[in-house]
Amino acid sequence: MNGNDLPSPIDVVALYKANNITKMRTYDPITETLPALKGSEIEVILDIPNSKLQSLGDPQEADNWVTTNVMSYAKEVKIRYINVGNEISPVNNGTSQFVPFLLPALTNVQQSITKSGLQDQVKVSTAIETGLLANTYPPSQSAFREDTMGFIKPIIEFLKQNNAPLQANIYPYFGYIGDPEHVQLPYALFTQEQPDPSGYTNLFDAMLDSVYYAIDKAIGENNVEIVVSESGWPSDGGVGASVENAATYYKNLMDHAKSTKGTIYRPGKPIETYLFAMFDENLKIGADTEKHFGVFHPDKTQKYNLTF
């Protein structure tokens, strides 16, 4: 939504339907989005922005948020997950200020959902980024960083207790540009044929399993599922960012996620994965690549001819 040339929410929902896209993640339930989704059958991840979390430490505020954004729409909009915050981390200067507010907000939103009787229908979670991990290669050695354990372990225990998945943003693109000497482009794009010494043929699976292994070590078992709440590749603006590479990544990611191959650590089932993002965002701040993650152009034409 960080663009001044994007279609209206009603047009976006029509575009989803026309392309047989059945799931959506929206980062802020602004007033136009949820009404546009009424009756659409699109399953939704509804984010609560980081800036809102402190206020949700008040149970009454959490009740108000759930009433306004969930209860008012639950009969006509398929809200599947509520993501309380995105990429909050004690080791990320951009989001560390929200760390004290995340678990209380999660707890209060969950209590509100339970009071509403929607706890089986709507799962409350949060989305992490892989900067919380240490020793990620080989993936089996991965663990959460010691300086994040006090933050992440209670969250994973909360998710386990409520039978909710952890949402994780997985970006082989950033793994590749962060260490191009050791991370080959084919490994990041799913085009490498031979496995690396750890048995993996692609970085996506290695990154995803790194999170699974870290969960295992944090709570001594691994029955918390992971939903890949973002993954994408930019088409312009930096190293490795091209229409050709992005098309290869998205097509291969979709084929892989839909197959029942799974990962080495979690084989035999599809991987619920959300592509980032629907549109290029010309107002997005940060690196120039941030403006070029769209699968669609703002004029609603496809960039890569993907089949959903």
Q: What are the DSSP calls for 77-97, one per residue?
A: SEEEEEEEEES--TT-TTTGG
Q: Residue 278 corresponds to which tokens in the numbers above?
A: 């629907």
Cα three-residue angle 103-265-26, rounded to 5 degrees: 45
Q: Is 184 helix (H, G, I), strand (E, B) or coil?
A: coil
Cα separation values, 68 from 34, 46, 55, 71, 83, Å: 10, 12, 15, 6, 16
- Tell me whether residue 79 is in a domain: yes
Q: Which tokens go with 113?
A: 């959902």
CATH code assigned at 232: 3.20.20.80
Distances (CA, A) of 176 to 73, 173, 182, 232, 251: 41, 5, 8, 13, 18
Residue identified by tokens 């969960």 is 215
Q: Is there a domain that residue 70 lies in?
A: yes
Side chain identity at residue 56, one-letter code:
L
Domain assignment present for residue 4? The answer is no
pTM: 0.97
Contact between 298 and 288 (Cβ < 8 Å): no
pLDDT at 31 (0 to 100): 79
Instruction: Return the pLDDT at 24.
Output: 97
Nearest-angstrom CA–CA distance, 60 and 66: 10
Residue 166 placed within a domain: yes
Separation between Cα atoms, residue 224 and residue 127, nearest integer Å: 14
Q: Which two tokens stand for residue 121?
A: 């229908």
Dist CA 155 CA 136 (whole Å): 20
Active site residue 230: yes
Catalytic: 87?
A: yes
216 within domain boundaries: yes
β-pair type (133-134, 143-144): antiparallel
Q: Which listed residue (129, 225, 230, 281) is catalytic? A: 230
Per-residue pLDDT, 222: 82
Per-residue pLDDT of the chain (308 residues; tens, 9 = 90+): 999 999 999 999 999 999 999 999 999 877 799 999 999 999 999 999 999 999 999 999 999 999 999 999 999 999 999 999 999 999 999 999 999 999 999 999 999 999 999 999 999 999 999 999 999 999 999 999 999 999 999 999 999 999 999 999 999 999 999 999 999 999 999 999 999 999 999 999 999 999 999 999 999 988 899 999 999 999 999 999 999 999 999 999 999 999 999 999 999 999 999 999 999 999 999 999 999 999 999 999 999 999 99
Domain total of the chain: 1
Rounded Cα distance between 305 and 279, Å, is 14
Is the residue at 307 inside a domain? no
Longest Cα–Cα distance of the chain, Å, equals 55
Domain annotation covers residue 59: yes
pLDDT for res 277 = 97
Active-site residue (options: 43, 87, 157, 272): 87
Q: How far apart are the first and last CA of the chain?
A: 21
| Residue at 109 is within a domain | yes
- Residue 29 has a pLDDT of 76
Q: How far apart are CA 73 and CA 36, in angstroms?
A: 11
User: So what's the pLDDT on residue 30?
Assistant: 75
d(CA 204, CA 127): 17
pLDDT reported for residue 176: 98
- Structure tokens belonging to residue 265: 């650590």
The residue segments making up the domain with residue 62 are 9-296
pLDDT at 28: 86
Of the candidates 188, 168, 179, 193, the residue with the CA atom closest to the CA atom of residue 253 = 188
pLDDT, residue 141, reads 97
